[in-house]
Amino acid sequence: MTTIAKHTGQNAGGISKVEFAFPNEFASFAVLPLFKAHVHFIQGANWKELYATAHTFSGDGNSETTPAGQLYKYAFKFHCPKDRADLIQAFYEFQAYGVILRVTDGNSLVRIYGTPSNPLTAKSKLLLPGEVQNFNGYEIALEGVSPDPACIE
């Protein structure tokens, strides 16, 4: 029988690191018992750090029972500063191919959202404010639906 015991140690909030990879960069991606992920990359590929403006990366998830079974939905949003060519290219690829996120939280728990066969989908929005003191750059939204919960690495 499954038990749910009281946690030990800290329960810090926040995100300490966000990384990404594209679906075609994985040589293998296996989901093991207890939803643990075991991943290997093709030669030359690896997780890439995703820089977001401080305190703008946020996400949430929920589950629901449908006639087809349990579905897990995840959504993330963040800002990347300054309109520039490297962001235009990266977000084009996010939208064209989908993306898999690797997120480390304040408790050092590492989760992987999306899989090569079911990546997160992206939308980007360019923000060009009329006033100097306002944010210039991109707002990115990533979403995904899966029959399995996000994996733990």
- Local confidence pLDDT in tens for the 153 residues of the chain: 566 776 676 766 778 889 999 999 999 999 999 999 999 999 999 999 988 766 788 899 999 999 989 999 999 998 888 888 888 898 899 999 999 999 998 888 999 999 999 999 999 888 887 765 677 888 899 999 999 899 999
Residue 1 lies in a domain: no
| Cβ–Cβ < 8 Å for 102, 133 | no
Residue 2 lies in a domain: no
Residue 9 lies in a domain: no
Domain ranges, residue 56: 15-152
Residue 4 lies in a domain: no
Query: Tokens standing for 137?
Result: 């750059």
Query: Tokens standing for 96?
Result: 């064209």
Number of domains composing the chain: 1
Residue 34 lies in a domain: yes
Residue 69 lies in a domain: yes
Residue 10 lies in a domain: no
Q: Which residues pair with 123 in a beta bridge?
A: 141
**Which amino acid, one-letter code, is at 52?**
A
